[in-house]
Structure 1
Amino acid sequence: MLKKLRWTVGFIFLILCIILLRQYIFDNNHPTRLTKMSYKLKDTEWKIRNKHPDSELDKKISLDKLRYCRHFPCKNKTASKNNNLPLKRKKTILLYNSFWEMKGWQFGVGSEPFKKKKCHYDQCRVTHNRSLLESSDAVLFHITQLGQDKPKIRFPHQRWVFFQMESPVLNANEYKNWNGLFNWTMTYRRDSDIHIRYGAVLPTSETKDMYFYHSSNAIKLNATKKTKPLAWLVSHCYTQGKREKLMKQLQKYTPVDIYGGCSNKNLRCARNTSAHDAQYDCFMMLGQKYKFHFAAENSMCKSYVTEKLFNTLAYGMVPLVYGHEDYSEILPPHSYIDITKFKNAESLATLLTDLHNDDQRYDEYFAWKKNYTAFGYTDSYHLSWCDLCEKLHTDTTPKVYDHIDQWWNEDTDCIDPSDLMKSWNI
Structure 2
Amino acid sequence: MESQNSSRSCKNLFIAVVLMTCFSAMFYMYYEPSVNWLKCPAVPKHDVCGDVCGNICINALKRPNQIQIVNNTCMVNFTSLRHQLTQTEAASSQGDTVLLIWMWPFGQQFDLGICSSMFDIHGCHLTVDKSQFNRAQGLLFHHRDINGDLSNMPKLPRPPFQKWVWMNMESPSNSPQRSNLNNLFNLTANYRQDSDIMVPYGRISENTGGKKHDEIPRKNKLVCWIVSNWNWNHKRSRYYAELKEHISIETYGNHFNKRISNQDYSDVVSSCKFYLSFENSIHKDYITEKLYNPLSLGTVPVVLGPPRKNYEELIPGSAFIHVDDFNSPKELAEHLKLLDQNDDLYRQYFTWREHFVSSAGVFGLEHACRACDHIRRNKNYRVVNDLNSWYWG
TM-score, normalised on structure 2? 0.70
CA contact under 8 A between 2:138 and 2:372: conserved in structure 1? Answer: no
C-alpha offsets along residues 259-282 of structure 1, whole Å, 9 cap, x if unaligned?
A: 11122xx4343x3xxxxxx1x641
1:199 aligned to which of 197, 202, 219: 202
- Once residues 239 and 404 of structure 1 are traced to their aligned partners in structure 2, the CA distance between those partners, rounded to angstroms, is 30
Q: Which runs of 5+ in 2 are unaligned?
A: 1-92
- Once residues 173 and 253 of structure 1 are traced to their aligned partners in structure 2, the CA distance between those partners, rounded to angstroms, is 39
1:389 aligned to which of 358, 372, 384: 372
* 1:128 maps onto 2:111 in alignment: no
Using the TM superposition, give the Cα deviation of residue 177 of structure 1 relative to its aligned residue in structure 2, in angstroms.
1.5
C-alpha offsets along residues 285-344 of structure 1, whole Å, 9 cap, x if unaligned?
A: 321x21000001001111111111000100011001111251111111311001122111
Task: Indicate the residue corresponding to 2:159 in structure 1.
Answer: 155
Change (3 A) 1:239 1:389: farther
- Once residues 201 and 97 of structure 2 are traced to their aligned partners in structure 1, the CA distance between those partners, rounded to angstroms, is 25
Task: Indicate the residue corresponding to 1:115 in structure 2.
Answer: 116
For the residue of structure 2 that corresponds to 1:262, the secondary structure is helix
The amino acid of 1:356's aligned partner reads D
The amino acid of 1:306's aligned partner reads T
CA contact under 8 A between 2:106 and 2:144: conserved in structure 1? Answer: no
- Once residues 130 and 212 of structure 2 are traced to their aligned partners in structure 1, the CA distance between those partners, rounded to angstroms, is 38
Give the 5 Å matches for 1:400-411.
400-409=383-392
The amino acid of 2:254's aligned partner reads G
2:216 aligned to which of 199, 221, 224: 221
Change (3 A) 1:382 1:141: closer
2:258 aligned to which of 234, 253, 267: 267
Using the TM superposition, give the Cα deviation of residue 241 of structure 1 relative to its aligned residue in structure 2, in angstroms.
3.8
Q: Which runs of 5+ in 1 are unaligned?
A: 1-86, 209-214, 272-277, 413-426
CA contact under 8 A between 1:240 and 1:298: conserved in structure 2? Answer: no
* 1:244 maps onto 2:210 in alignment: no
- Once residues 407 and 229 of structure 1 are traced to their aligned partners in structure 2, the CA distance between those partners, rounded to angstroms, is 40
CA contact under 8 A between 1:216 and 1:314: conserved in structure 2? Answer: no
CA contact under 8 A between 1:95 and 1:126: conserved in structure 2? Answer: yes
Task: Indicate the residue corresponding to 2:249 in structure 1.
Answer: 256
Task: Indicate the residue corresponding to 1:183 in structure 2.
Answer: 186
C-alpha offsets along residues 5-64 of structure 1, whole Å, 9 cap, x if unaligned?
A: xxxxxxxxxxxxxxxxxxxxxxxxxxxxxxxxxxxxxxxxxxxxxxxxxxxxxxxxxxxx
CA contact under 8 A between 2:99 and 2:368: conserved in structure 1? Answer: no
For the residue of structure 2 that corresponds to 1:151, the secondary structure is coil
- Once residues 280 and 233 of structure 2 are traced to their aligned partners in structure 1, the CA distance between those partners, rounded to angstroms, is 6
Change (3 A) 1:143 1:154: same
The amino acid of 2:171's aligned partner reads S
- Once residues 181 and 245 of structure 2 are traced to their aligned partners in structure 1, the CA distance between those partners, rounded to angstroms, is 48
Change (3 A) 1:239 1:114: farther
Using the TM superposition, give the Cα deviation of residue 116 of structure 1 relative to its aligned residue in structure 2, in angstroms.
2.4
- Once residues 346 and 325 of structure 2 are traced to their aligned partners in structure 1, the CA distance between those partners, rounded to angstroms, is 19
CA contact under 8 A between 1:169 and 1:240: conserved in structure 2? Answer: no
Tell me the percent identity.
Answer: 27
Using the TM superposition, give the Cα deviation of residue 181 of structure 1 relative to its aligned residue in structure 2, in angstroms.
1.7
Change (3 A) 1:201 1:381: farther
C-alpha offsets along residues 400-422 of structure 1, whole Å, 9 cap, x if unaligned?
A: 1111121121xx3xxxxxxxxxx
Bigger Cα displacement from structure 2, 87-96 vs 128-137: 87-96
Task: Indicate the residue corresponding to 1:141 in structure 2.
Answer: 141
Give the 5 Å matches for 1:328-407.
328-378=312-362, 383-407=366-390
Higher share in helix: 2
CA contact under 8 A between 2:101 and 2:139: conserved in structure 1? Answer: yes
1:235 aligned to which of 222, 228, 239: 228
C-alpha offsets along residues 225-247 of structure 1, whole Å, 9 cap, x if unaligned?
A: 31221000111111664201100
- Once residues 268 and 393 of structure 1 are traced to their aligned partners in structure 2, the CA distance between those partners, rounded to angstroms, is 43
Over 6 Å off, 4+ runs: none
For the residue of structure 1 that corresponds to 2:114, the secondary structure is helix
Change (3 A) 1:309 1:89: same
Change (3 A) 1:172 1:240: farther
Change (3 A) 1:406 1:118: closer
- Once residues 292 and 170 of structure 2 are traced to their aligned partners in structure 1, the CA distance between those partners, rounded to angstroms, is 17
* 1:103 maps onto 2:109 in alignment: yes
CA contact under 8 A between 2:98 and 2:372: conserved in structure 1? Answer: no
For the residue of structure 2 that corresponds to 1:220, the secondary structure is coil
Using the TM superposition, give the Cα deviation of residue 195 of structure 1 relative to its aligned residue in structure 2, in angstroms.
1.0
Using the TM superposition, give the Cα deviation of residue 388 of structure 1 relative to its aligned residue in structure 2, in angstroms.
2.1
